[in-house]
Amino acid sequence: MSKRLSLCALLVSLLCVNAHAIQRCELNGESVSRDNGNTTAGKSGLMRCTDDSGQVRRLDQTLRDGRYVGPVLMVLADGERREYSVNERGNRDGVARTFDGKGTLRQEENLEDGSAVGVQKNFAAAGHLQELHFAAGRRTVLTIAYLANGSLTELRCAAVTLVPQDREVCGHAGRASDVTLYRADGKPAGTVSYLQGQMQRLSVLDRDGRLVRNEELKDGRRIKRVFYPSGKPRSEADFVERDPNSREGREGVAREWAESGQLTQETTWADGYEQRIHQWYLNGKQKARQQIRRDGRNQERTTESFWDNGLSAAVNVERNGRLLGWQKYFTEAGVLVREDEHGERGVLLRRKHYDAQGVFAREERFLEDGSRI
């Protein structure tokens, strides 16, 4: 979709840049000017413009009662040819095709009032189909990309069959597919399996054939794993399968490891939000422990931090990302050294200091401008 949007933007810029460069225009045997609407007012027919020195060498544009509506043909200096139609709002509408300087079809789009709808195709310079997309609701819901020999390089499926090419590879024929994906050099990039458009398994390989990540749907849960080059696990996400493109309703656990094998973080999700986060140092000691609670739009987070010897370093309470209430800070020996009180909007109100034995020593109060009393 991004390529199509870029092409559309380029097309608009070319028209704008070359509107003044195109010098010779003719409509129904009469000389007209694209810069002077009086010469085309109320007229209908095919206007042909040429400019041997500009980037747009030829432009055939249909007029209806003085308005640019209908088929358009544009030929650029390098021989590239674009054929499309515009509607009364000036947006591209219908089938649009782009040919390179050798006359090879490179792109075929289906458009509706400027937006891509249905089948979109990109072709390689050699002429074979390179990419097949299907657009619906301003989104690309299906993508199949090919090498010259018909092997697939990319596959993203929709929940229902949309084109004949997706029936087998997307598992719409009554059985799960088993597809090997390849790189441009012909080397395997991984495998993927779909059943009724839903991904069942995925494996991604690096250029040396090592497993980079995999994904599987198992017992209603989608499990995603990422690996270090050594083959050891780097991360794992185990969630109840819902919309894979949305965090809404997310439920499950995500974990991260160091290459040494030490678990460094574990996050528990429920109802689409983080509930608990545990972190560890590489020496295995607990680094932090967080508990997250939600009350309507408000989120409260309590974080217990630890020194790498396992003793408490701090206890912090946040509301909607700002410190609130009393915060505690400890020395590496686990002795309370300071307490801070924060009010609404995270403003620091009071600070209590403690001596080396944890005995209260003094208190400071803070005004709105940060000055102390």
CA dist list (Å): 55 to 74, 79, 327, 365: 10, 10, 67, 71
Specify the pTM.
0.80
Residue 5 or 207, more confident: 207
Secondary structure letter of residue 224 according to DSSP: E
Mean pLDDT of 290-304: 95
pLDDT of residue 193: 98
Secondary structure of residue 259 in the 3-state scheme: coil
Residues in the chain: 373
pLDDT at 75 over 70: yes
Instruction: Report how far residue 61's alpha carbon sits from residue 168's, in angstroms, rounded to the nearest whole number.
Output: 42
Secondary structure of residue 7 in the 3-state scheme: helix
Residue pLDDT, tens place only, 237-256: 999 987 655 556 789 999 99
In the chain, what are the domains? 1-116 (2.20.110)
Instruction: Report how far residue 269's alpha carbon sits from residue 128's, in angstroms, rounded to the nearest whole number.
Output: 46
pLDDT of residue 35: 87
